[in-house]
Amino acid sequence: MTELRRFKQVDVFTDTPLCGNPLAVVIDADGLSEPQMQAIARWTNLSETTFVLPPTDPGADYQLRIFSPGGELPFAGHPTLGTAHAMLETGFRPKNADRLIQQCGVGNVAISLARKGWLAFHAPAAEIVAVNESYYPLLAQAVGKSTAFGFCPPVVVDMGIRWLLVRVDSVEACLTAMPDRDSLASLLTRCEANGLTLYSRHRPTGPADYEIRAFVVENGQLVEDPVTGSANACLARLLQAQGFPDDPVFAGSYQVRQGTALKRHGRISLEFINGEPWIGGQSVTLIDGHLHL
C-alpha cells in the first residue's frame, strides 16, 4: 500500500531561491527503516536528506536522522537549520517559544528562534587537533602553495563531523583554489577527516568578514559543498580557541560568505552569546508536497 509522507525541499543559508544549499526533509519519517532512509537519500542525491522522528529524549522537540547518499551523519549544520525551518513552516510548535531542541547523533542541539526570519544553532563542543607537519607536503600538493601554515597552522576540528581547516593567504586564493582530488583523498584519509575547509579573511570593507569553501571526495569525485553549517561551526570554535587572531571584535559576531565560486549566495551569521557560538541564517522552501512510498 502506498503511503504519503510530507516532504519539503528547502534552500538553506540564503533568502533567495536557488542560491543556498538544498536540503530534502521527510517530515513524517516514523516507521521508515534505516535502509529506506538511505534509499531515499540516494534518490534525492543531495548532500543531505533529513528524517524527522518522535524524540526519545523528553527534553527534545523531535529527533533528527541525517543521511548523505553514502551514509548517516551524527550532525550537520545546514540540515539542522533547514529541518527546523521546514518544521516551523508546518505549524509545529516547540516546547519553548524561543528555542527548539533537536535530538541527533551528537546529542541535543539548541536552535534559537529569537530573530524573526532567521534561525541559529548552538555549535556543539569540538575537539581541535593539529595536523602532523609530516603531512604538510601532501597538503600543499592537495590545496596549493597559498596556505598560511605559519600564521594559522592547519587543524582538524571534530564536531561529530570532522573538518580539516586550512587558512589561505587571500580571498582570491580561496576562490581560485582547485584541490587535487587524489592528493586530497589521501590527505583526508591520513587526517581521518570528512572534508576540507579553506578560509580567508576579507578586507574590512568586504562583503563579509570571512570567505570559506568546503570540499569532500565522494565516490571518487571532488565535490564542493555550497554552504556548510558544520564547517562554519568548526571555524567558529577554532577562531575562538585562537583568541580571534584577525580582530578581537569578532568575539561578539562576524559574517561569512560561502558558495561564491558556485554562483551561490550563501550568508552565515556567527554570534557569540555568553562565549558560545551560534551559527545562523535564513532558509526558503522550494518544494512542498508528499513522497509516495
Q: What is the C-alpha to C-alpha distance for residues 110 and 278, in angstroms, rounded to an integer? A: 9
Active site residues: 48
Residue 165 in contact with residue 199, Cβ under 8 Å?
yes
Burial 85-114 (b: 16+ CB within 10 A, else e): bbbbeeeeebeeeeebbbbbbbebbebbbe
Residue 76 in contact with residue 229, Cβ under 8 Å?
yes
